[in-house]
Structure 1
Amino acid sequence: MISLEEQVSRFKGNQKLRNWFVAILLAGTFTMSISQSSLSTAYPTLMRYFGVSATTIQWLTTGFMLIMCIMMPISPWLLNNVPFKRLFQAVLLLFDVGTLIILVAPSFPIMMLGRILEAVGVGILFPAYQSVMLTITPAESRGATMGVAGLVMGSALAIGPIISGIVLKFTTWQGLFVVFALIITLVFALSFRFISNVMTLKPTQLDFISVISSVGLIGLLFVINQLGKPGVNWPAQFGLLAVSLLMLVYFVYRQFHTTKPMLELRVLKTFNYDLAVLLTGFSYIALIVTTIIFPLYYQGVLHLSPFASGMALVPGAVLLSLLNPVTGKLADRIGFKRVLLIGMGMITMGWGILFVCSRSLNLIAMMGIAMLIEGGNAFVMMPATTLGANSLADNLIAHGTAVITTVRQILGSLGVAIATIILTTVTQNQVVKGYRHQVATQTGYRAVFFTFFLVAIFGLVMAVLIKNTKKTTK
């Protein structure tokens, strides 16, 4: 019987075998990632089908995100206690069951149950797949491999609404989930042939107190998602925020004061890793704000239809998909720091042009700037993740990727909330001052562009401070 060390060495030394492993892993993760961002296009259809309001239907995405985030810190424990092949197959099966429940759901609560099961699977797999890919890839090739992985994190987010729009144009909303179910079922079948156990098991008892206290993440993200919404009971929200923060403070305290933490937060003691975490978060903010704010700008300022505004995102999504593998190889060749500087430079330039020229930009110019920002994301998000992993010992990679993925999700949600608040508040203030609605709206967007221009400058400073790190092992 082949030992685990021999199994890992076999993948590191056999590129063809490793490529099959990575392809199956990414096919499942890519499909799950698309499911995270694709439903927004189907909201009107789902509202009519189930007879619910827009606020209720948004829980299909908001609830998905909350459950996903609570599972991310548990992912390292699962990797240490469950053979990876079995874990991967269990996640696929869980997602498939959730998708089938959605397909036959007679009511919205049943559909929500299916989404929760899908979210559990995604929350486990998102940090895990990055850890596994880093483990089976030689250090000198990690940039290229994680560049391909960037197709999942970046491209799926941007492409999800586009794919769902195309599917919905030719079939019902159920057709979207039929596509998900078919792909995941195929991946499940192929996993028996191409997925192996490559992670070292270190069995420990699950710290249920840590699990319970980590639920504070749900409360924090829930409050963040209420920012900018009308009719919110803010005294109750502040109470929830206070309780959530206390739970998270205790969660952090417990991870530092227990011998076998559920999530090893001591990775944050490595300054270079901390910079990498923030860089991935800031690049994710740039990407998610672009994919949400730009369509609103196209409709509100340029007066495009929803379909046309969605299609206007295609060039940026395509460029992001094409650049991700290229930037990974480039990072292996010229160093991660240079690649990160290029990417943050592109993102900063994009937001800067938007701020300075926002009153005179047409659709073509806006699409070009979207391509500049999304292209910059390809130079930052996964290269920074890889550099962060290279700053840690091998036994900490699973914990490091879980921290990065969780922080990235929190910062992304915070970025969207801040963009929404600024846009709404500034626009309303301008209207009160007597400006025409068109002028007021443009001023609101300009304030958003300026805010994220400042965020990008901060990210550029971090890219200057970060260091190329040779892989350490233990």
Structure 2
Amino acid sequence: MEVQRNEKQFSVIPIMISLLLAGFIGLFFETALNMAFSDLMQVFQINASTVQWLTTGYLLTIGVLVPISALLIQWFSTRKLFITSVVFSILGSISAAIAPNFSLLLIGRMLQAIGTGILLPLMYNVVLVIIPPKKRGTAMGLIGLVMMTSLALGPAISGLVVETLSYHWLFWLAIPFYVIALLCSVFYMQNVSTITKPKIDLLSILLSTVGFGGIVYGFSGVGQTEGTSIAIVTIIIGILSLLLFSIRQFSIKSPIVNLKAFKQPMFALGTLTVVINMIIILTANLLLPIYLQDGMGYTALVAGLILLPGGILNGIMSPITGRLFDRFGPRWLVISGFFIAFVVLWIFSNVESSTSVEVIITQYMCLMLGTSMVMMPVQTNGLNQLDTELYPHGSAIINTMQQVAGAIGTATAATMMTMGQQNYLSGITDPTTPENIVVSLTSGVQNAFIFAMVVSIIGLVLAFFIKRVKVED
């Protein structure tokens, strides 16, 4: 299958296979390590707020890197960027597999995140260039199918590996697949983007890094017994840095991220909606594995299998919602999706250790159904409103906000869970008994799900303002 756009011919199928294979493996690790959190807390003698940095740090690194992806796409060929992303992923996997302590394990995760951070915006930019607008919903749905399947298989596969081998093997087993992706890129990847080599503004890069890094680091520290004041100061510094970054992007000739994309209302609304949806997904994917193991007593493997049907349903629904979007537009898909998410999160906010497996599976499947009806439609609708020269910037903006929102949501959920546990334990005479520990965890998880429920209400309100963008081939 070949598509001709902008006077270039692209072999769509080989390019998409290369991108989707690497994307599958990269996003697999966004949730795969969650099932090892309980073991890692015991091995390294750390608490939940610390271990969640394996997710938060991963997403933070992506969030810091992705803003400069529009610049990278204009400086380097698609082929070079893709190969670079896979090489970083391989190096990160090796580093994490041999890490003797938590700090080095976190460094390995961040190296992996550099690879994923380069890949994600590159993938979306390629789709925008080689796929006609009226077929982009279907193409984005295919991306969603592969990626959500990887997120779904992550907990189940990692649960099996952790239970039968060790968490180290999660990284060793990924390396052969990264090598396959690397070979695919050597033989099939084509150069898609036009290289213009705009001027590099180091101050913008610095402000972006300090801004996103400060906000996520700050949110991770809020609510902990020590360092709360430092966390608040860090958040303020991050916000001020992002304000300065935004002002500078409008004042320089070659912005790192062209924020003029936000002048398009559906792009701005779509980006905000994607942010909300990502917070919901990653909050649930952080809380449920921990609670299923430490609160309900299931093994890592069983916990992964409990979440597997919901993740697979999300993946299956992605191409379906893509086709529905191409035919009917995004509005009622998004409204329905957020309503379903709200109902499920309200039910999850009353979860107990006695809740049956069947109820958990059903609720999680419904939550994944709802989020799948939101993500691809609003993302595709927003990107469709942009002019061609804004494609790299639009992809960078959405992916940046998506990953950073996931990091903030994960950090906030972990903090609220910890605070709920501490509040409960501080009011009883014997906080060390197993029964009280389980009840305190239940209280913390319920509080965190209430946070996600409030976020879903905001998304539902915004969904009523979404309008379909009319596009032409």
Same fold, TM-score > 0.5, yes or no: yes
Specify the alignment match of 1:139 in structure 2: 133
**Is residue 225 from structure 1 mapped to residue 220 from structure 2 by the alignment?**
yes
Pick one of 392, 395, 417 that aligns with 1:398.
Answer: 392
Shift of 1:142: 0.5
Shift of 1:46: 5.8
Pick one of 198, 218, 221 that aligns with 2:192.
Answer: 198
Distance in 2 between residues matched to 1:314 and 1:3, nearest whole Å: 39
Secondary structure, in 3 states, of the residue corresponding to 2:7?
Answer: helix
Pick one of 87, 90, 101 that aligns with 1:96.
Answer: 90
Specify the alignment match of 2:7 in structure 1: 6
Secondary structure, in 3 states, of the residue corresponding to 1:465?
Answer: coil
Q: Specify the code of the residue in structure 1 equivalent to 2:219.
A: I
Shift of 1:373: 0.8
Q: Specify the code of the residue in structure 2 equivalent to 1:224.
A: F
Structure 1 residues 420 and 3: alpha-carbon distance in aligned structure 2, compared to 1, 3 A threshold = closer
Q: Specify the code of the residue in structure 2 equivalent to 1:197.
A: N
**Is residue 456 from structure 1 mapped to residue 456 from structure 2 by the alignment?**
yes
**Contact 2:341–2:371 under 8 Å retained in 1:** yes
Shift of 1:4: 8.0
Q: Specify the code of the residue in structure 2 equivalent to 1:221.
A: V
Distance in 1 between residues matched to 2:109 and 2:445, nearest whole Å: 33
**Is residue 319 from structure 1 mapped to residue 313 from structure 2 by the alignment?**
yes
**Contact 2:313–2:368 under 8 Å retained in 1:** yes
Structure 1 residues 371 and 3: alpha-carbon distance in aligned structure 2, compared to 1, 3 A threshold = closer
Secondary structure, in 3 states, of the residue corresponding to 1:215?
Answer: helix
Q: Specify the code of the residue in structure 1 equivalent to 2:213.
A: I
Q: Specify the code of the residue in structure 1 equivalent to 2:216.
A: L
**Contact 1:127–1:402 under 8 Å retained in 2:** yes
Structure 1 residues 342 and 72: alpha-carbon distance in aligned structure 2, compared to 1, 3 A threshold = same
Shift of 1:262: 0.4
Distance in 2 between residues matched to 1:427 and 1:292, nearest whole Å: 16
* Deviations 1:172-199 (CA, angstroms, capped at 9, x unpaired): 4443223221111111111123211111
Distance in 1 between residues matched to 2:40 and 2:417, nearest whole Å: 27
Structure 1 residues 310 and 246: alpha-carbon distance in aligned structure 2, compared to 1, 3 A threshold = same
Structure 1 residues 196 and 108: alpha-carbon distance in aligned structure 2, compared to 1, 3 A threshold = same
Q: Specify the code of the residue in structure 2 equivalent to 1:204.
A: P
**Contact 1:228–1:417 under 8 Å retained in 2:** no
Moved more, 406-415 or 51-60: 51-60
Distance in 1 between residues matched to 2:164 and 2:256, nearest whole Å: 46
**Contact 1:255–1:261 under 8 Å retained in 2:** yes
Distance in 2 between residues matched to 1:59 and 1:448, nearest whole Å: 17
Specify the alignment match of 1:254 in structure 2: 248
Shift of 1:137: 0.8
Distance in 2 between residues matched to 1:263 and 1:82, nearest whole Å: 16
Distance in 2 between residues matched to 1:407 and 1:371, nearest whole Å: 25
Distance in 1 between residues matched to 2:110 and 2:280, nearest whole Å: 27
**Contact 1:33–1:152 under 8 Å retained in 2:** no
Distance in 1 between residues matched to 2:165 and 2:294, nearest whole Å: 28
Distance in 2 between residues matched to 1:42 and 1:354, nearest whole Å: 22
Q: Specify the code of the residue in structure 1 equivalent to 2:403.
A: Q
Specify the alignment match of 2:63 in structure 1: 69
Distance in 2 between residues matched to 1:417 and 1:111, nearest whole Å: 18
Moved more, 415-424 or 375-384: 415-424
**Contact 1:4–1:199 under 8 Å retained in 2:** no
Q: Specify the code of the residue in structure 2 equivalent to 1:312.
A: I
* Deviations 1:344-393 (CA, angstroms, capped at 9, x unpaired): 23212322444578799533122211111111111111221111101211
When the two structures are superposed, what TM-score results if normalisation uses the length of structure 2?
0.87
Counting only pairs closer than 5 Å after superposition, residues 438-457 of structure 1 correspond to structure 2 as 445-457=445-457
Percent identity over the alignment? 29
Specify the alignment match of 1:14 in structure 2: none
Specify the alignment match of 1:331 in structure 2: 325
Distance in 2 between residues matched to 1:115 and 1:73, nearest whole Å: 19
Distance in 2 between residues matched to 1:429 and 1:325, nearest whole Å: 44
Distance in 2 between residues matched to 1:100 and 1:254, nearest whole Å: 39
Counting only pairs closer than 5 Å after superposition, residues 18-417 of structure 1 correspond to structure 2 as 18-43=12-37, 53=46, 59-104=53-98, 111-216=105-210, 217-229=212-224, 231-299=225-293, 302-355=296-349, 361-417=355-411
Moved more, 219-228 or 410-419: 410-419
Query: How many equivalent residue pairs?
Result: 463
Q: Specify the code of the residue in structure 2 equivalent to 1:118.
A: Q
When the two structures are superposed, what TM-score results if normalisation uses the length of structure 1?
0.87
* Deviations 1:65-120 (CA, angstroms, capped at 9, x unpaired): 33222111010101111111121112212222333344455666555544333222
* Deviations 1:306-344 (CA, angstroms, capped at 9, x unpaired): 443332111111111211111111211222223222322
**Contact 1:390–1:472 under 8 Å retained in 2:** no
**Contact 1:149–1:382 under 8 Å retained in 2:** no
Distance in 2 between residues matched to 1:432 and 1:117, nearest whole Å: 39
**Contact 1:393–1:471 under 8 Å retained in 2:** no
**Contact 1:67–1:123 under 8 Å retained in 2:** yes
Structure 1 residues 173 and 38: alpha-carbon distance in aligned structure 2, compared to 1, 3 A threshold = same
